Amino acid sequence: MTASGSDALIVLDAATPLLERLGSGATPALARAADLLTAARDAGTPVLHARLRFRADGLDGGHYLRRNPDLRVCAGADAPSYPPLAPSREEVVVPHAYPSAFAGTSIAPTLRGVGCDTVVLVGVGTTTGVRATAIDAMQHGFDVVVVEDGVADAAPGLHRAALEDLAAHYADVLDADQVGARWIRTPSPARSEGATP
């Protein structure tokens, strides 16, 4: 038997320099992600933001940054937020230096602390950060929902293939309307638990 019913929304890497690399094809997905961010806030569903960030010399990016030198746009300073997906002052931003938002970060205990058992992923990129985060979330004991029309990547074919892999092995792949309906039916209890110390 598994517990169920407490979602948290994770917005992955909604930084302007990363999104610009995806081109205009990503715009509809980012709009759907923004709709879902608003729905999460309205429903009291906890929201976390994960952001690639490296120190200026890139040392903490290790072999990931060595193999993906274009990600240096996230080195040295916080990359600017894509405004429709910008964090509010109350929302935790988790810096990460590897593809998964769980790798080398404290996001797992934060999710447990707000009573979350299911993470809902929107953002970029489907083949990299979304995929890595979905697998890691499952491996940390969380159920995973990937929002198929709320994630994006540069190559449409690879994006679709990644969603098929995720649906086959790791996650429920749902559209934004289906996820929004979850929150209307079963509002998260997390807000009433008083998670702040």
Partner 1 sequence: MLAAEDYARAGLQGSLDLDVEAPTALVVIDPVRVYTDPECPLYAGVEDAVEVMRALVSDVRAGGWPVVVTRLEHHPSGLDASVYGRKVPALRWFAASSPHSAYIPGLAPVGDDLEVVKQYPSALVHTTLAATLTFLGVRRLLIAGLSTSGCVRATATDALQYGFEPVVVADAVGDRLAATHESNLFDLRAKSAEVLTHAELRARWDR
* Residues near partner 1 (CB under 8 A), total: 27
Which residues, numbered 56-75, are part of the site for partner 1 (CB under 8 A)? Answer: 57, 59-60, 62-63
Site string for partner 1, 25-54 (x = CB under 8 A): ---------------------x--------
The C-alpha atoms of residue 143 and residue 119 are separated, in whole angstroms, by 6
Q: Which residues is 30 bridged to in the sheet?
A: none
For residues 80 and 104, which CB has a smaller minimum distance to partner 1 in the complex?
A: 104
CB of residue 62 to partner 1, shortest distance in Å: 4
CB of residue 56 to partner 1, shortest distance in Å: 10
Site string for partner 1, 87-116 (x = CB under 8 A): ---x-xxx--xx----xxxxxxxx-xxx--
Our separate counts of H helices and E strands in the chain read 7, 6
Q: Angle 6-7-13 (CA atoms, 0-180°, nearest 5)?
A: 155
> Residues near 114 by Cβ (< 8 Å), separated by ≥ 6?
6, 8, 46, 190, 193, 195
| Residues 56 and 75: beta-carbon distance below 8 Å | yes
195 near partner 1, rule: CB under 8 A: yes
The C-alpha atoms of residue 145 and residue 70 are separated, in whole angstroms, by 29
Residue type, 126: T
19 near partner 1, rule: CB under 8 A: no
For residues 90 and 157, which CB has a smaller minimum distance to partner 1 in the complex?
A: 90
For residues 83 and 197, which CB has a smaller minimum distance to partner 1 in the complex?
A: 197
- DSSP character at residue 191: G
83 near partner 1, rule: CB under 8 A: no
Q: Helix %, strand %, coil % for the chain, to 5?
A: 45, 20, 30
Which positions lie near partner 1, rule CB under 8 A? 46, 55, 57, 59-60, 62-63, 90, 92-94, 97-98, 103-110, 112-114, 195-197
